[in-house]
Amino acid sequence: MSYAPSPAALGRIEAAIARYPERSAALLPVLHIIQDESGFVSPDAEVWVAAKLSIAPVRVREVLSFYTMFRRAPAGRSTLQVCHNVSCALAGAEDILLFISEKLGIAPGQTTPDGAISLVTVECLGNCDHAPCLQVDGVDHGPASRETVDALIEELKSHA
């Protein structure tokens, strides 16, 4: 099982490498591009990236395992991130998190059995004037209430 990106992703990868004076500096953007396409970065993809950027595979693993946004295993089709830092906690983030957990039947860190939604807690998203705030597949939501969360989850499930 070897890895190869799609021609479109490969084009983006080549363009990313060209933006930096040193190939290895493109490691973060390249991992973003691969994860955007595949949903995660597999061990085979790590080896491919290492060869592409002329660095040791362990360097790819170091970086991949350091940054919380990178995934080394598949997640749900959508990822629901709930901020639980201070401003959001003051606005009821723990209640919202509990509500979502019960509604989806999963704990933070888990994915619904149908593979639709992964639930995770995150630290400050820089959207504190919309507390409690969520981010779903990169899109900001907030202030979140039981009603807005209900609607959001219905929408995510309909994408299945």
Partner 1 sequence: MLENGVRLLPVDDDSWRLEAYLRRGGYETARKVLTTMAPVDVIAEVCKAVLRGRGGAGFPAGVKWGFVPKGGAGPKYLCVNADEAEPGTFKDRLVLLRAPHQLLEGMLITAFAVGIRSAFIYVRGEYARVSRRLEKAIAEARAAGYVGPRLFGTDLGLDVVVHHGAGAYICGEETALLESLEGRRGQPRVKPPFPAVVGLFRSPTVINNVETIATVPQILARGADWFLGRGLAKDGGTRLYSVSGAVRRPGTFELPVGTPLREIIEVHAGGTPEGRSIKAVIPGGLSAPVLRPGELDVAMDVDSLSRAGSMLGSAGIIVIPEGTAMLDILHATARFYAHESCGKCTPCRIGTAWILKVVERLRSWGGGPADLDLILRLAEGIKGRTLCPLGDAAALPIHALVTKFRSELERAVAR
Q: Which residues bind partner 1 (CB under 8 A)?
A: 19-22, 24-29, 31-32, 53, 55, 59, 62-63, 66-70, 84-87, 89-91, 122-131, 135, 138-140
- The residue (of 28 and 106) whose beta carbon lies closer to partner 1 is 28
- Block residue for tokens 């749900």: 76
Please give the Cα distance from 57 to 123 (Å, whole number): 29
Is residue 149 within 8 A of residue 136, CB to CB? The reply is no
- The residue (of 4 and 67) whose beta carbon lies closer to partner 1 is 67
Q: What's the min distance (Å) between Cβ of 114 and partner 1?
A: 26
- The residue (of 94 and 150) whose beta carbon lies closer to partner 1 is 94
- The residue (of 5 and 132) whose beta carbon lies closer to partner 1 is 132
Q: What's the min distance (Å) between Cβ of 134 and partner 1?
A: 12
Q: What's the min distance (Å) between Cβ of 135 and partner 1?
A: 7
- Give the DSSP per-residue string, 54-77: T--HHHHHHHHHHSTT--SS---S
Q: What's the min distance (Å) between Cβ of 70 and partner 1?
A: 6
Which residue, 80, 106, 94, 159, is CA-closest to 132? 94
Please give the Cα distance from 96 to 83 (Å, whole number): 10
